[in-house]
Structure 1
Amino acid sequence: MNETARAAIVTGVAGDVEIRSYDLPRPGPGEFVLEVELCGMCGTDAHIYRGRLDSVRFPALLGHEIVGRLTALGEGVRADHAGRPVEVGDRVGVFPALSCGRCYECTVRRRPGSCPDRRPSYGFASPADRPPYLTGGFATHLYASNAGTVFYRTGLEPAVAVLQEPLSVALHGLERSRVGIGSTVVVQGVGAIGLMAVVAARAAGAARVVAVGGPPARLELAAALGADEVVDIDRVPDPARRAHAVRDALGESRGADAVIGTAGSPAAFTEAIGLVADGGTLAELGNFTDRGTVPFNPFSDLLKRDITIAGVYGAGPDMQRRYHSALTLLRRGGLPFDQVVSHRVPLSGARRALEALGGDYRLDDREIVKLAIDPHA
């Protein structure tokens, strides 16, 4: 194990990203140190960078979609969360959320996100100028400083294994939307979580899946991952015309049984309500940070149409189960998962990547499908 580690630290809201060095800690009981091979960068990271998540204070070390190899194990760390033996050198995926696993919220209500002893998730712990350091994935190493950190050994390539966290979020959305055999589904937004929602909808038995979003590279991949039709928001910019295009793609003038909203804007949420068939469900995943409010009529938008609106916050209750299910789906293969990560960015390029993800979705003259930090590039 190297004696020092490097990390890309966001110094302030939309501010500089500095590469800082830290001494590698020696893990205590229940802890471990991981050499990060790849860490996904998602829209949440871009929102945090813009100061849209009040719980994260700066300077901050971001990155919560973490895959790497174990370099040091503390006392008692002998197996992953599925009970499979682990040793130094094994590749693992790390689930970012941390809860006690013993309290009423964890064991009875099965809502670890509401655990009173919940600690800041990896990639969300702050500030980064005080210990414990190395608590996010935009670094050469992760210090898993909390006993009970959920992780799974995997033989998948890093570019596929890094999809485990976004797929677990998509699975939460599919469960809340009640998608089943024969369902018609609209996936609104084709970032990493939207693409994974297409995969999850197919795995759940959906009969027809329509993906709505852009840019074209993401829509092409959505089709390769299982979408029957795609609707490009740039080619159909008017929401009313777009709604007609989506219904034509569904082959259903009434709308979809389920809409999975991953686009992450209030306007998109309003549009999604109009795409749900009467009696259907909108599962909203995308507005993970506060982007503002929308006009809403409880009678005409909700009750009269007998629809369900389900809020989906991250991987949600039973998050560990979904994380494991995501790994199972990725291991099954048969889909071009290895094409989802379009850009591998070194630590020195973290700010440029965050700006692009919150801007025009282009980096190095190519459309972004999925960004990932490669700390050893």
Structure 2
Amino acid sequence: MTAISRAAVVTGPGGPVEIREYPVPDPGPGEAVIRVELCGICGTDAHVFHGRLPTITFPALLGHEIVGTVTALGDGLDTDSADRPVAVGDRIGVFPAANCGTCHACVVLRRPGQCRRRPPSYGFKSPVDSGSPLTGGFADHLHLVNPGTVFYRTDLPPEVAVLAEPMSVALHGIRRAGVGLGATVVVQGVGAIGLMVVAAARAAGAARVIAVDGSTGRLALATELGADTAVDITTLPAGAARHAAVRDTLGGSGATAVFGCSGSPQGFAEAIGYVADGGTLAELGNFTDRGAIDLNPYTDLLRRDLTITGVYGAGPDMRAHYLRALEILERGGQPFTRVVSHRVPLRDTEQALRALSTGYQLDGTDVIKIAIDPSR
């Protein structure tokens, strides 16, 4: 009897989300099938749900922060991406993006995101019924069908392993901003990505890390993950008052590196005021088009000798960043197990996606990180 997998499919912009069933495939050569244990919901998923990513057509199966256990391996696949043996029953973390690794964009330009041969990332292939349907993490099973899929075996509990993808993005940001020993860091917005930036900045040797947010729960966890000071902006008007509060924590100056993780154009504009002259603003949050802002090239950039850098996903070194992310998580010593604040069943996927667009509250409590748990 053929096994059946449920999948939470977004039928159109803004929903609804339907639970559909698909047969679990037998993996072909070099492929695998995993039983999804957890799949994190990213802010990007919420934007896609609302139709803000033009490359996505509906119906679509989302979910790209994936951890699961191997249920079947195709011929020729017996090691993970670090050449370690992998077998049925092993837990693995799956990196969503793939590329050919041999073309001009991959090798010379070192821009795998521009690879014309790359298949759609897991959680971003659409419409769902084109090719193998089970290529998103909001389902019971995931078909690892992309050639060169990056995955690593791990003994981490699923609620920690599921953080590897956002941590890989944070590590790309740390590299782009040049954070090292003695750096002063402001992280604007400490949702899941921002929390990973806090931990990564501390691991990179930052001397001071300041967390800025409007949620006392997220700020408390940021402090446990390594932030020296938490600035609650709920009582501070946007602009000069917030800039002054943050700069006061740094002795009156801005930070050598600021990470914009709020995901709004207005937040990006505000983040510029947190940067010290000669410093860097690394923007991670505006992954989809949320609109434009006014920017004065002289007063905002040249006079202050600022660098603004975009951080798109895990970057050209995505394989290395994902592995290093797992290694940081495996090192422990931080309350990573508490980052996932809500584990919800497949049937509540739409409710969870809407929660990320309506105040980050679910079941009456503040959201830090939501993960889909198909076993529930």
TM-score (norm 2): 0.98
Runs of 4+ in 1 over 3 A off after TM superposition: none
2:236 equivalent in structure 1: 236
Judged with a 3 Å threshold, the aligned counterparts in structure 2 of structure 1 residues 214 and 108 are, in CA distance, closer, same or farther, namely: same
213-222 or 156-165, which deviates more = 213-222
1:354 equivalent in structure 2: 353
Question: Alignment RMSD, CA only?
Answer: 1.0
1:265 equivalent in structure 2: 264
Judged with a 3 Å threshold, the aligned counterparts in structure 2 of structure 1 residues 32 and 367 are, in CA distance, closer, same or farther, namely: same
Judged with a 3 Å threshold, the aligned counterparts in structure 2 of structure 1 residues 220 and 297 are, in CA distance, closer, same or farther, namely: same
Taking the aligned partners of 2:271 and 2:238, their CA distance within structure 1 comes to 14
1:319 equivalent in structure 2: 318
Query: Structure 1 counterpart of 2:360, which letter?
Result: Y
1:328 equivalent in structure 2: 327
1:98 equivalent in structure 2: 98
1:109 equivalent in structure 2: 109
2:4/2:21 contact within 8 Å kept: yes
Query: Structure 2 counterpart of 1:71, which letter?
Result: T
Superposed counterparts of 1:1-377, under 5 Å: 3-251=3-251, 253-377=252-376
Deviation per residue, 1:89-115 (Å, 9 max, x gap): 000000000101111222232221111
Taking the aligned partners of 2:118 and 2:189, their CA distance within structure 1 comes to 30
1:284/1:312 contact within 8 Å kept: yes
2:7/2:61 contact within 8 Å kept: yes
Secondary structure, counterpart of 2:231 in structure 1: strand
Taking the aligned partners of 2:235 and 2:300, their CA distance within structure 1 comes to 27
Taking the aligned partners of 1:133 and 1:34, their CA distance within structure 2 comes to 14
Taking the aligned partners of 1:148 and 1:174, their CA distance within structure 2 comes to 26
1:13/1:50 contact within 8 Å kept: yes
What is the Cα deviation at residue 2 of structure 1? 6.7
Query: Structure 2 counterpart of 1:229, which letter?
Result: T
Taking the aligned partners of 2:237 and 2:174, their CA distance within structure 1 comes to 27
Taking the aligned partners of 1:237 and 1:90, their CA distance within structure 2 comes to 50
TM-score (norm 1): 0.98
Secondary structure, counterpart of 1:77 in structure 2: coil
Query: Structure 2 counterpart of 1:96, which letter?
Result: P
Secondary structure, counterpart of 2:273 in structure 1: helix
Secondary structure, counterpart of 1:369 in structure 2: coil
Query: Structure 2 counterpart of 1:177, which letter?
Result: A
Identity of aligned residues (%): 64
Taking the aligned partners of 2:239 and 2:11, their CA distance within structure 1 comes to 38
Query: Structure 2 counterpart of 1:159, which letter?
Result: E
Flag structure 2 segments of 5+ consecutive residues without an equivalent.
Answer: none
1:90/1:153 contact within 8 Å kept: yes
Query: Structure 2 counterpart of 1:73, which letter?
Result: L
Taking the aligned partners of 2:275 and 2:238, their CA distance within structure 1 comes to 18
Taking the aligned partners of 2:284 and 2:302, their CA distance within structure 1 comes to 21
Taking the aligned partners of 2:66 and 2:219, their CA distance within structure 1 comes to 25
Taking the aligned partners of 1:337 and 1:237, their CA distance within structure 2 comes to 31
1:209/1:250 contact within 8 Å kept: no
What is the Cα deviation at residue 130 of structure 1? 2.9
